[in-house]
Amino acid sequence: MQPRERILETAFTLFHKQGYNSTGINQIIADSNVAKASFYQHFKSKEDLCVEFLNKRHGFWFDRLNKFTSKSRTSKTKILASFDFLIAMNEAENFRGCSFLNLLSEIPSDNTKILNVIQRHKNDLREYFRKYLADKQLADHIYLLFESAIIESQLFKSQWPVTKSKSIVNTIIN
């Protein structure tokens, strides 16, 4: 594997596991067996790597979501399966929550470059629910419960917010 990909792979793991500010360039290059000069040949700064990480995570996350829900046929079952996807992700990633929301709290609020990537990701998620539902109000309602499910399960290190959100969605959806 090429150095650039090794770096992205390592950043993908470490940024999500440890957070952005707690992960230094030195650890990234050590773990990916790359020289520091090579790193700065491929990425002009740590912030640059962060943007690429978020883009990679964006693709990864939606791919997995779509794969996970692909078995479901109806809109309703697809949406309910999306909550099951959250449960699976919490399990697989030890309740580390959403990389995008975590970064939102880590960056200064005037960092528009990264903020834009985060907003784009969440807009796509909002659109994901709107795609399946004619009732846009209902779609937003579900989007808000979905976001809560993510952040609250991270906070309480428990699946109850997801299962509760899912059961609420099950009743409000027609």
Minimum CB separation of residue 13 from DNA in Å reads 15
CA gap 64, 72 in Å, rounded:
14
Q: How far is CA 160 from the centre of its chain?
A: 19
Compute the C-alpha angle 22/24/29, nearest 5°. 140
Phi, psi (degrees; rounded to nearest 5) at 160: -60, -40
Instruction: Examine residue 25 and tell whether it contacts a second copy (CB under 8 A).
Output: no
Tokens of 26: 């030195």
Tokens of 99: 């990389």
Find the binder of DNA among 46, 76, 96, 120 (CB under 7 A): 46
CA gap 39, 10 in Å, rounded:
12
- Contact letters for a second copy, residues 120-159 (x by CB under 8 A): --x--------------x--xx--xx-xxx-xx-xxx---
Phi, psi (degrees; rounded to nearest 5) at 79: -70, -40
Minimum CB separation of residue 18 from a second copy in Å reads 7
Nearest of 16, 10, 19, 13 to residue 105 by alpha carbon:
19
Find the binder of DNA among 40, 62, 95, 132 (CB under 7 A): 40
**The one segment of 27-35, 51-59, 95-103, 111-119 that binds DNA by CB under 7 A:** 27-35
Gyration radius of the chain over CA positions = 18
Instruction: Examine residue 164 and tell whether it contacts a second copy (CB under 8 A).
Output: yes
Minimum CB separation of residue 10 from DNA in Å reads 12
> Residue 141 binds which one of DNA, a second copy, none, with CB within 5 to 8 A depending on kind?
a second copy
* Side chain identity at residue 137, one-letter code: Q
Binding site for a second copy (CB under 8 A): 18-19, 21-22, 94-97, 101-106, 108-109, 118-119, 122, 137, 140-141, 144-145, 147-149, 151-152, 154-156, 161, 164-165, 168, 172
Binding site for DNA (CB under 7 A): 2-4, 23-27, 33-38, 40-42, 45-47
